[in-house]
């Protein structure tokens, strides 16, 4: 099992476009054994420390295998919607790990 934590930074005013991508991508993950364990949209006042811009959302996702993750990332239908992600996401910090 692998775990991914994503800090997602969305371009101002592009939140609806980002949501359209997520509405498609999140259910598609299940086809590849992916699960959205946590999807958090933190408020700025909930950060104790923040050296730069706060993320729009924080995701914790799991996949059974690296291959499942690769298959999801390369899914043809996902790639047809990737322009929505590119239009709405300013930056993303992705951390991969395993449960300890």
Note the pLDDT tens digit of each residue in 55-74: 999 999 999 999 999 999 99
Of 69, 38, 71, nearest in space to 55 by CA = 38
Report, as an integer, the average pLDDT of 20-42. 96
Q: For residues 53 and 74, what is the distance between their CA atoms, to the nearest angstrom? A: 30
Domain boundaries, the chain: 2-97
Classified by CATH at the fold level, domain 2-97 comes out as: Alpha-Beta Plaits (3.30.70)
- pLDDT at 52 (0 to 100): 86
Share of the chain above pLDDT 90, in %: 87
Give the pLDDT score at 98. 85
């Amino acid at each position: 099992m692998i775990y991914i934590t994503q800090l997602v930074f969305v371009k101002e005013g592009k939140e609806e476009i980002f949501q359209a991508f997520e509405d498609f991508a999140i259910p598609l993950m299940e086809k590849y054994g992916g699960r959205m364990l946590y999807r958090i949209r933190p408020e700025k006042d909930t950060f104790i420390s923040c050296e730069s811009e706060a993320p729009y959302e924080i995701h914790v996702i799991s996949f059974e295998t690296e291959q499942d993750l690769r298959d999801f990332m390369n899914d043809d239908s996902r790639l047809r919607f990737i322009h929505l992600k590119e239009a709405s996401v300013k930056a993303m910090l992705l951390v991969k790990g395993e449960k300890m």
